Amino acid sequence: MRRPLPEELGLDPANESPFKGKTGLRRVWNAFRYSLDGLRAAYLCEDAFRQETWLALLLIPLALWLPVGWLATALLIASLLLVLVVELLNSAIEAVVDRVGLENHRLAKRAKDIGSAAVFVSLCQVIVVWTGVLLEKL
């Protein structure tokens, strides 16, 4: 699969926020479009986000199928969505660090490592939540 060019993702710095300052429904519509653009960019450009999306798409139906209460189902699904949120934030941090400079720098490494650690912790909590809910049913 060919990686899209930044221009194809609408990532022209001169035109990043042409609707800043808009209010009401126009702002909500623009925010929605920007969110979809972000999801698309993450899915197309970030392997980890793509893998975690597929994991969520496999496990969310399983969570809905399991014979557990609505609160347990909500926890199972929320744990998966949290991983996606953390991965999006990690990817944003990495993009900003790379935008500032691609040379090796200890602070750039620290920022990227901390973002990666956040993703790891969110994946650990998926394991804890899913294990806890499943053990409760045994």
> Which residues are catalytic, by number?
87
> Residue 107: which residues within 8 A CB-CB, separation 6 or more?
none
Cα–Cα dist 113/116, whole Å = 5
CB atoms within 10 A of CB 117: 11
CB 79 within 8 A of CB 125: yes
